[in-house]
Amino acid sequence: MNNTKVISHIREIFNTSENFIPLHAPMFKGNEKAYLENCIDTTFVSSVGKYVDGFEQKLQTYTSIKKAVVCVNGTNSIHLCLEIVGVKPGDEVITQALTFIATANAICYAQAKPVFVDVDKDTMGMSPNALQHFLENNTEIRNDECYNKTSGNRIKACLPMHTFGHACRIKEIAIICSKYNIELVEDAAEAMGSFYEGRHLGNFGKMAAISFNGNKIMTTGGGGAILTNDESLAKKAKYLTTQAKVPHPWEYSHDEIGYNYRMPNINAALGLAQMEQLDFFLERKRVLAMNYKAFFESENIVFFDERPGEKCNFWLNAIILKNREEREEFLKKTNEKGVMTRPIWTLMSKLPMFKNCQHDGLQNSEWLEERVVNIPSSVI
């Protein structure tokens, strides 16, 4: 491939006087400053305030998911989802090997052990076939619960991830999970603004987590949200994020170990202002993605497009190169020239802390790991 041509095309798109083009930069063009100023003027910068409620409300309306509970980041949102659906110390949680480290770390915070299955090549998310195959060959049902025959541990939850905002085959995964009595939690950290068959991602499992970190499609600085259609689970989430405080006008009473996972008002203020611009971000990111698609197809390079039924947020655009050598050359040339590009993640199963965890063949994960790179994807 012609790296020089790619670099000049990317420079042309972003048309900036800056020498460096980042992978994804936030954009603050709305009410961010006004809302932050209001936090300071009113002294409501911390754990309560109108922006926390306003942001949660807006998330609920936008996603059509009944309840949103905002948290300090996406990683602890995943952790709490797992704990709330009933993951206990010593349990196992099935996830994909091709994901960002936070997915696997959150499983460990719940004192459970990850099991890694393969992804589909055309979604980069968990493969229902791989999941079904793993469950068929490695598990048995005892007292209505799913047990891993090799380890003897209970498999309590399944945690697929929607890679770069692209929907995995979540409906098929949901059917398999219910057949095996496994709770489905979606790592929708990258998927704010992504829909599948008209439903926002995070609306297919029992609970879901979203991230609002600085590099995501919209940001609260640091932050995350738990989404669920189950009001009692949302209530539990609110309680666990606030040190498991039993509601009372003045008494300090706590009846289990909770967390300080609440999102401060100052972060929610930023989030609300970003939320107001989300549709604009999505529109502009789609323009960028379609530009990339046309360009890379004319260069005979595979652009990772959305599938039928999907409305992707195109958070991070991705291309699939021919092999590892081409990938290395591309990463070297682009980064040398100030165009930030990054390879997809190293498989979780290869990292020292997870290398003893059970996994399947991971052929597609390996294939993608060698070839996929992300290219600059900020709102243009």
List residues with catalytic annotation: 216
Q: What angle do CA 378, 379, 380 make, to 5 degrees?
A: 105
The three-state secondary structure class of 311 is: strand
Interface ranges with ligand PLP (CB under 6 A): 73-75, 99-100, 102-103, 161, 187, 189-190, 211, 213, 224
Q: Which is nearer to ligand PLP, 148 or 213 (CB)?
A: 213
Q: Which is nearer to ligand PLP, 6 or 110 (CB)?
A: 110
User: Which distant-in-sequence residues (6+ apart) come within 8 Å of 5 by Cβ?
Assistant: 299
CB of 362 to ligand PLP, least distance (A): 17
Q: Which is nearer to ligand PLP, 7 or 183 (CB)?
A: 183
Residue pointed to by tokens 């991971």:
362
CB of 98 to ligand PLP, least distance (A): 10
Contacts 24+ apart (CB under 8 A), 148-151: 148/92, 148/115, 148/358, 150/358, 151/92, 151/113, 151/358
When CB distances to ligand PLP are compared, the closest residue is 74
Kind and range of the H or E element at 51?
A: helix 50-63
CB of 161 to ligand PLP, least distance (A): 5
Q: Which is nearer to ligand PLP, 209 or 321 (CB)?
A: 209
Strand pairing category for 224-228 and 207-211: antiparallel
Q: Which is nearer to ligand PLP, 73 or 317 (CB)?
A: 73
DSSP H helical ranges for 210-356 = 231-241, 265-275, 278-298, 324-336
CB of 252 to ligand PLP, least distance (A): 29
CA distances (Å), origin 261, targets 71, 73, 210, 315, 359: 5, 8, 14, 25, 31
User: Which distant-in-sequence residues (6+ apart) come within 8 Å of 183 by Cβ?
Assistant: 85, 86, 87, 156, 157, 158, 177, 205, 206
The three-state secondary structure class of 49 is: coil
CB of 9 to ligand PLP, least distance (A): 26
Q: Which is nearer to ligand PLP, 146 or 272 (CB)?
A: 272
Residue pointed to by tokens 């709490």:
80
Q: What angle do CA 178, 142, 182 make, to 5 degrees?
A: 25
CB of 210 to ligand PLP, least distance (A): 8
Nearest to 242 by CA among 227, 263, 258: 258
Amino acid 343 reads P
CB of 187 to ligand PLP, least distance (A): 5
Amino acid 373 reads V
Q: Which is nearer to ligand PLP, 94 or 146 (CB)?
A: 94
